[in-house]
């Protein structure tokens, strides 16, 4: 599906720059509209990713980084699954301000297209759900996710199918495999936002 076609269903997919995306999310997050839309659209990305992670990670006290955490939808699912220690980062301060109090142990405003101010090998798991999509975060972020994940740790993410090849995610994933940075645990087509006929690839990779 082209950016134009999918943008008619989800307007934010029409945006090109980081500044445009941040401004849109800041407005979208007001009066809980973002959360209401996600519920109405039956957005399943967070639930599918946490369920996939839970099949392979049984320890609940690990430290998880939720990259592009938005309003905390992944955090809510993590908590329901018994995980207790997760940090979040997002581009929109409005979305961060709407996250339920005490859900995350740490939150910060971050542009994931830039190098992360996070020490290497810090996290047991990195989650990135709903952020690899039109006009949002680029494949180079995967290098940073690998860097901040402990050896043997897991990275779980979704990639909108419309940008998987166009943005070069297919090549980046392949390069990380070939360079022995990670290996594939699962990779499959997610329902994502089926009500809008918007699908995504869901990947779970283990860092070498």
CB count in 10 Å sphere of residue 203: 24
CB of 65 closer than 8 Å to CB of 199: no
pLDDT mean over 83-102: 96
Question: Which pLDDT score, from 0 to 100, does residue 201 have?
Answer: 98
Question: Which pLDDT score, from 0 to 100, does residue 9 have?
Answer: 53
Question: Which pLDDT score, from 0 to 100, does residue 4 have?
Answer: 46
pLDDT surpassing 50 at residue 157: yes
Question: Which pLDDT score, from 0 to 100, does residue 7 have?
Answer: 47
Question: Which pLDDT score, from 0 to 100, does residue 11 have?
Answer: 77
Question: Which pLDDT score, from 0 to 100, does residue 187 have?
Answer: 98
Parallel, antiparallel, or unpaired: how do β-strands 149-160 and 64-67 relate?
A: unpaired
pLDDT mean over 91-116: 96
Domain of residue 164 covers: 3-207
Q: 130: alpha, beta or left, given left = phi > 0 and alpha = psi -120 to 50?
A: left
pLDDT surpassing 80 at residue 104: yes
pLDDT mean over 99-110: 96
pLDDT surpassing 90 at residue 37: no
Element housing 157 (H / E):
strand 149-160
Helices 33-41 and 18-28, packing angle to 10 deg: 90
Tell me the percentage of the chain whose pLDDT exceeds 70. 95
Question: Which pLDDT score, from 0 to 100, does residue 3 have?
Answer: 55
pLDDT surpassing 90 at residue 2: no
Please report, for the domain that includes residue 30, its CATH number: 3.40.50.150
Total number of domains in the chain:
1
For the chain, the average pLDDT equals 93
Q: What is the pLDDT of residues 56-66, one digit of tens each?
A: 999 999 999 99
Tell me the percentage of the chain whose pLDDT exceeds 90. 78
Nearest to 128 by CA among 204, 195, 180: 204
Higher pLDDT, 62 or 195: 62
**What's phi and psi for 169, nearest 5 deg?**
-65, -35
């Amino acid at each position: 599906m082209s950016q134009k076609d999918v943008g008619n269903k989800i307007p934010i997919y029409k945006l090109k720059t980081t500044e445009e995306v941040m401004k849109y999310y800041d407005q979208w997050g007001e009066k809980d509209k973002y959360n209401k839309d996600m519920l109405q659209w039956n957005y399943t990305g967070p639930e599918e990713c946490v369920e996939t992670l839970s099949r392979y990670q049984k320890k609940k006290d690990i430290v998880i980084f939720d990259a592009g955490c938005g309003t905390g939808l992944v955090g809510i699912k993590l908590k329901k699954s018994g995980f207790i220690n997760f940090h979040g980062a997002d581009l929109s301060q409005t979305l961060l301000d709407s996250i339920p109090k005490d859900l995350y142990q740490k939150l910060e405003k971050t542009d994931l297209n830039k190098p992360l101010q996070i020490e290497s090998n810090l996290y047991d798991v990195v989650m990135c759900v709903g952020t690899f999509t039109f006009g949002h975060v680029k494949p180079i972020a995967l290098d940073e996710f690998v860097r901040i994940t402990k050896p043997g740790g897991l990275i779980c993410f979704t990639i909108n199918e419309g940008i998987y090849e166009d943005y070069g995610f297919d090549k980046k994933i392949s390069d990380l495999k070939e360079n022995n940075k990670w290996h594939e645990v699962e990779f499959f087509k997610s329902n994502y936002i089926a009500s809008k006929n918007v699908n995504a690839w869901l990947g779970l990779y283990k860092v070498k």
